[in-house]
Amino acid sequence: MKRSNKVIAGIVAGILGLGAAGSAYAAKSAADMDKEKAETAAIMGAKLTVADAAKTAETQTGDRAVDVSIENENGVILYEVETLKADGTETRVMVGANDGKIVKVAVVTDDEKDGKGDEDGNEANDEDGDDD
Dist. CA 110–CA 116, nearest whole Å: 9
Instruction: Please answer whether residues 108 and 90 qualify as being in contact, where contact means their C-beta atoms are separated by less than 8 angstroms.
Output: yes
pTM for this structure? 0.59
Task: Give the pLDDT of residue 84.
Answer: 95
Report the pLDDT value the prediction gives residue 128, as an integer from 0 to 100: 41
Average confidence (pLDDT) per 10 residues, the chain, 132 residues: 52 52 60 82 86 96 94 90 95 95 90 58 41 45
In the sheet that holds 102-107, the strands lie side by side as: 64-73, 76-84, 90-96, 102-107
Q: What is the rounded (10 degree) CA torsion for 5, 11, 16, 17?
A: 120
How far is residue 48's CA from residue 12's CA, in Å, rounded to a whole number?
54
Contact 68, 50 (CB under 8 A): yes
Q: pLDDT at position 130, please?
A: 44
**Which pLDDT value is given to residue 33?**
84
